[in-house]
Chain A
Amino acid sequence: MAGSSEPQPEALRPAMAAPALLSVLLALLAVAVTILLWRLVQGRRSRRRAVLLLGLCDAGKTLLFARLLTGRYRDTQTSITESSALYRVSKDKSANVTLIDLPGHESLRLHFLERFKAAARAIVFVVDSVAFQREVKDVAEFLYQVLVDGTVLKNAPALLIACNKQDVTMAKSSKLIQQQLEKELNTLRVTRSAAPSSLDGSATGGPAQLGKKGKDFDFSQLPMKVEFVECSARGSKGEDGDADCEALEKWLAKIA
């Protein structure tokens, strides 16, 4: 009697388990497919298509932005918000990137960098070649902050350092600027890591180490491609002439 009732539930169990198991498997499959699709869609949406224009105040970012997009000279003031526009890289290729011009003022620059760094495919760091000697420490500090940022290190966008204002006779060459920046960043590695930590626990470029330990800092030690380019947004012929930024445009075409 007990034996007869037992095999019944046993026979029933696999019979019951089969549809239940099937439905469970089906549900899991559906979830997996959804996740896959979602990842794909998100990946497509968040494909990094932005080129950021960074730099100190008065470096010439907004004018460069205007020149690249329209080719004409515009008067500019200190930017308070970002400007972004679609930039067609060259006439024949249909590739285009979004040029984003970020404000360079000290109180705004980090905030805007936070907003746009995830979407950056490339970064153009504009340097004022004329005032470089005076501002080298500030330039290096901002560059350091950009380079040790976690997102930037992970994505490793291509970096171009554009030495602007070459039309002025006192402008430093890009070779000199590169050497000076390497020296400054070398020193900054030591001082910034030794800086006292703030009370709220946020590490100012704490654990991230720039370049290789033990050796002097070199731009080739970075995980991203770094290039130096000379350009002049104003152009050697003044306001009516063209800007001297062919090298910049070629580089943009390369990375698009």
Chain B
Amino acid sequence: MLDFFTIFSKGGLVLWCFQGVRGPVATAPVNALIRSVLLQERGGNNSFNHEALTLKYKLDNQFELVFVVGFQKILTLTYVDKLIDDVHKEFRDKYRNEFQQKGTLGLLNGTFDFKEDFMRLLRDAEESSKARAPTVMKTFEQSQKSQKTVKCMIETRGEKPKEKVKNKKNKGSKKEGMEAVTAASKASTGDRQPSAAGDREELTKDEILQKNREEFFKRHMKAGEKSRSPKPEAQKEKGKKPRVWDLGNSNAKVLDYSNSATNGSVEACPVEEFDPDLALGGRNREPGRLYDLEYESDEEIEEKVIQNPSKPSAKKGGLGGMFGMLKGLVGSKSLTREDMDPILEKMKDHLIAKNVAAEIAVQLCESVAKKLEGRVMGTFTTVTSTVKQALQEALVQILQPQRRVDVLRDVMDAQRHRRPYVVTFCGVNGVGKSTNLAKISFWLIENGFSVLIAACDTFRAGAVEQLRTHTRRLNALHPPESHGGRTMVQLYEKGYGKDAAGIAMEAISYARNQGFDVVLVDTAGRMQDNAPLMTALAKLIAVNAPDLVLFVGEALVGNEAVDQLGLLFSRLNKSNSLSLSS
């Protein structure tokens, strides 16, 4: 059932591998797992999908090992988690000596003959999953419905609605049903029950209807009588009682609110006096100025809440606590989840307070916890410092650019192939696309490249004029005379209201004909949830295939930025499998 099971060290050496069903070689999916999950700190949940395989993994942070199991995505194997845990424990116990004493050379030289143990564990796991018998459906006799009588399910007027009367024509189970009914019904009042039971077999739909009708008439004859059908007492009340209100016994005058506070009435609320000064804060107010509402900060409440769970742990014996702390400082103490949790909570709150998106902060802390669990701390390191350092490393790792960012080098490359290097600017309204475009074109001109600016913002009033002003200024700074007679910056525009993708395409071909090195395409600002505009942007990018798509975002925007980027990325990916650097 399993495609493969690998055990490898974090340094990259495969210690043991099991190739199960005739599947693909294990290296490629595991590499994908490492690159997209472990290195990008998405280690929160431990499963990962790669093409047709699902990969589940477990980290051993004490000996720096990784356990990975892969199986087909369509299978739902329930024993995989347990299998990984068992294999982890067994492998670690069996080869503990090699890991501890010999270090890397032990990993290199050691032969890890684990096959029999693994097959045994696999068999145990498969059997344990099969041992649980599939749930058998209850028979009719076992269900609750068979134990209810017909009468209790008949809806009579004025009573609470019950389940509708079922057609009791279950031939096979009728007799048993009757017995069950007679045995189980507690509120069997008198002679009705056996007659009902005896009649059950011959009851047809019409007869049931007739019975209902008779009862209905009888009730209307005998007004005020309670119900006499043999229902279990627990199910029904003793009939309808008149509802009693709290003020029901008072007379109508008290209940009359019609002449109380209306607009303009002087004797308004009979309750408290309305003190405007007190209501608005009681400070010396300047008339006409809006003051902030004073509210009790929630931090105090939160602190109390956080302190309470930590208090019992602090009370755990003073002397033992001290020794524990000393032991923690010196020597080998392995990190547990409980040690790390309060610190990670604080880190998470700190991250969120600094405008990191909430779910990302949560996932990051989860991933760091997974990476640190079970690791042995060195001497004189506290838990806080270890966690902090791990979090710092994780953040630095995520923030490293995954691809080479060297625009000048790529421009030179494009120059050699005699085609222009196309850069597109996108983002929401007002983040500074046109301004940044001007700055980047200045930088490019300083480095000796000629720039064509394509004004594809055909929507905003003044967008083209803004770019024209920039162009004029830049040309004044770098006049054609000082660059061998060619204009360094030129604007390509077609006015307002036209299709942006068409203008971009024309601009690029114009640049190719005229020999411009770089084309900077300015687009209109758009919100990420505006579907037609996003489609238009996707079309522009798909048609023109720019070399670089720059997303301009505001640093003050906070969590919104995640939304903007995510939606933009998914839109662009949907239309064409572009892989932007995320």
User: Which A residues lie at the B interface, using CB under 8 A?
Assistant: 62, 66, 69-70, 74-86, 101, 103, 105-108, 110-111, 137-138, 141, 187-188, 190-192, 194-196
Contacts and interface: CB of A to CB of B under 8 A. Distances in A.
B408 A110 contact: no
Interface stretch (B10-18, B168-176, B183-191): B10-18
A73 B14 CA distance: 11
B522 to A, nearest CB: 19
A111 B396 contact: yes
Contact of A79 (B6, B12, B446): B12
Contacts of B9: 83
Given A106-B400, A192-B406, A70 B109 contact: yes
B108 interface: yes
A107 B398 contact: yes
Interface residues of B, number: 41
Contact of A78 (B6, B35, B396, B406): B35
B397 A191 contact: no
Given A141-B404, A191-B412, 12 more contacts: A70-B109, A76-B8, A77-B8, A78-B12, A79-B11, A83-B104, A85-B103, A85-B105, A106-B401, A107-B398, A188-B409, A194-B408
B447 interface: yes
B265 interface: no
Given A187-B412, A194-B408, A74 B14 contact: yes
Contacts of A76: 8, 12-14
Given A105-B39, A107-B39, A82 B409 contact: no
B403 A106 contact: yes
Contacts of A110: 400
Nearest to B59: A80
Contacts of B404: 137-138, 141
Contact of A101 (B11, B27, B103, B412): B11
B64 interface: yes
B108 to A, nearest CB: 5
Nearest to A184: B409
B31 A79 contact: no
B11 A82 contact: yes
B211 to A, nearest CB: 77
B10 A81 contact: yes
Contacts, number: 104
30 contacts: A70-B108, A74-B13, A75-B13, A75-B14, A75-B27, A76-B14, A77-B6, A77-B12, A77-B27, A77-B30, A77-B34, A78-B31, A78-B35, A80-B11, A80-B38, A83-B9, A83-B11, A83-B107, A84-B104, A85-B103, A107-B400, A108-B39, A111-B396, A111-B400, A188-B406, A191-B408, A191-B409, A192-B406, A194-B446, A195-B406
Contact of A111 (B64, B66, B393): B393
A59 to B, nearest CB: 12
B397 A107 contact: yes
Contacts of B8: 75-77
A136 to B, nearest CB: 11
B39 A62 contact: no
B185 to A, nearest CB: 68
Contacts of B406: 137, 141, 188, 191-192, 195
Ranked 7 nearest A-B pairs via Cβ: A83-B11, A79-B12, A75-B14, A191-B408, A62-B12, A107-B400, A85-B104
Nearest to B406: A191
A74 B64 contact: no
A69 B11 CA distance: 14
Contacts of A85: 103-105, 108
Contact of B108 (A74, A190, A194): A74
B551 interface: no
Interface of B: 6, 8-14, 17, 27, 30-31, 34-35, 38-40, 64, 66, 103-105, 107-109, 393, 396-398, 400-404, 406, 408-409, 412, 443, 446-447
Contact of A83 (B6, B13, B109): B13
Nearest to A99: B104
A107 B104 contact: no
A66 B398 CA distance: 29
A84 B397 CA distance: 21
Contacts of A86: 105
Nearest to A105: B39
B397 A66 contact: no
A80 B34 CA distance: 8
A51 to B, nearest CB: 14
A217 B397 CA distance: 32
**Which of A84, A106, A111, A192 lies at the interface centre, i.e. has the most chain B CB atoms within 10 A of its CB?**
A106
B402 A106 contact: yes
A69 B105 contact: yes
Contacts of A138: 404
Contacts of A66: 13, 108
Nearest to B16: A75
B56 to A, nearest CB: 16
A247 B319 CA distance: 62
A202 to B, nearest CB: 13
Contacts of A70: 108-109
Nearest to B409: A191
Nearest to A108: B397
A84 B404 CA distance: 28
B12 A83 contact: yes
A5 B97 CA distance: 83
A82 B9 CA distance: 10
Nearest to B25: A75
A14 B447 CA distance: 73
A77 B16 CA distance: 12
Contact of B34 (A69, A78, A84): A78
Nearest to B13: A74
Nearest to B8: A77
B393 A81 contact: no
B13 A62 contact: yes
Contacts of B412: 187, 191
A81 B11 contact: yes
A86 B66 CA distance: 24
A80 B400 contact: no
B39 A196 contact: no
**Which of B38, B104, B396, B447 lies at the interface centre, i.e. has the most chain A CB atoms within 10 A of its CB?**
B104
B399 to A, nearest CB: 8
B400 A79 contact: no
Nearest to B30: A77
B16 to A, nearest CB: 10
B27 A187 contact: no
A78 B68 CA distance: 13
A195 B27 CA distance: 38
B35 A79 contact: no
A74 B16 CA distance: 10
B39 to A, nearest CB: 6
A175 to B, nearest CB: 23
Contacts of A62: 11-13
Nearest to B393: A111
B444 to A, nearest CB: 10
B64 A81 contact: yes
A238 B446 CA distance: 53
A83 B9 CA distance: 9
A69 B106 CA distance: 11
Given A187-B412, A188-B409, A105 B10 contact: no
A196 B404 CA distance: 15
A101 B8 CA distance: 16
B104 A77 contact: no
